[in-house]
Homo-oligomer: A and B are copies of this chain.
Amino acid sequence: MRKIRLGVVGCGIAARELHLPALKNLSHLFEITAVTSRTKSHAEEFAKMVGNPVVFDRYEELLDSGLVDAVDLTLPVELNLSFIEKALQKGVHVICEKPISTDVETGKKVVELSKKSEKTVYIAENFRHVPAFWKAKELVESGSIGDPVFMSWQIWVGMDENNKYVHTDWRKNPKHIGGFLSDGGVHHVAAMRLIFGEIAWVSAIAKDISPLLGGMDFLSSIFEFESGVVGNYTVSYSLRGDDRFEIVGTKGRMEIFWDRIVLNGEEIEVPHQDSYQREFEDFYRVIMGEKRNDLGDPLEALKDLAFIEACVRSQGNRVSVSSLL
């Protein structure tokens, strides 16, 4: 089995703590051959954790080195577009951490670049690889709760000054729309769209509650899927509460957890699988031409972001999500 030679670009929290453990388990598929980071010492530390990839001072040198088939971009969001563009110009595949971009207008450019290139652009949205969400979709579609009518997701992230993400420079002064609302929010939208399909419109209120977190940190919304299912999505990145993801139908209800679903009072276990590992396996298969890029499709990531941008713009007014696309 041919290994993909991977260049890791950006050596922050996501690269070290989310991608690297997955890639270590996938050493039969990927070999990290090159590394670069804005802060060279970070790249050198990362290189030591990996083995002996070449450390480059500049991204362009890495791309020109001939050492990489693909790059893994884990960067401040505002750099995604230009870094993706450069990789494609050099004929290098890309996997890039979500959100696709700072806003929908910029994200559209990523989608366009991707369409024009023969190389893969894969937006890494690990929530599209969480087994519990696929199980929920299957249960909804099999009629286990009758016709689904309503879903509600409340998420209380409760970040305080001890949280590592809070202190990232690009998160403290966010250039991406809504700050944490898009950074974290695209995950949630991906899961909801996975289960229920496209969202037709949303009405929402977004607020900046915590002075500690850069940008906005609270969002509450109602929306309607094209199927007619009604949704509520409320998230706070600073407040603490009781997370709850539930679906109510004409003949029952379910609650979704990370490792189980409670369906009409009955527990259904959903064995945990590392979603980052599944994501990189999927990326590998797409590059190898074994499947189409359905789960890493930039257009899917753009739709996730469009929902959040619609929420931020809404101020209680109804916004058609597709009108942003």
A residues touching B (Cβ–Cβ < 8 Å)? 149-150, 152, 154, 156, 201-205, 207, 209, 218, 220-222, 224, 230, 232, 234, 236, 238-242, 246, 248-250, 253, 315-318
Contact = CB atoms under 8 A, between A and B. Distances in A.
A318 B218 contact: no
Contact of A150 (B152, B220, B222, B230): B220
A313 to B, nearest CB: 12
B220 A250 contact: no
Nearest to A204: B222
Contacts of A222: 203-205, 220-222, 232, 316
A149 B236 contact: yes
Nearest 6 CB-CB pairings of A with B: A316-B318, A203-B203, A241-B248, A317-B318, A203-B316, A220-B230
Contacts of A234: 150, 152, 232
Contacts of A204: 222
A238 B239 CA distance: 33
8 contacts: A149-B207, A149-B209, A150-B239, A203-B203, A203-B318, A221-B222, A239-B250, A241-B253
Contacts of A241: 246, 248, 253
Contact of A316 (B201, B248, B315): B201
Contacts of A203: 203, 222, 316-318
Nearest to A231: B220
Contacts of A249: 239
A8 to B, nearest CB: 39
Contacts of A250: 209, 238-239
Contacts of A156: 248
A158 to B, nearest CB: 11
Contacts of A248: 156, 236, 239, 241
Given A152-B234, A236-B150, A248-B236, A316 B220 contact: no
Contacts of A202: 316
Most buried by B among A222, A246, A253: A222
Nearest to A201: B316
B236 A224 contact: no
A248 to B, nearest CB: 5
A205 B239 CA distance: 27
A312 to B, nearest CB: 14
B220 A205 contact: no
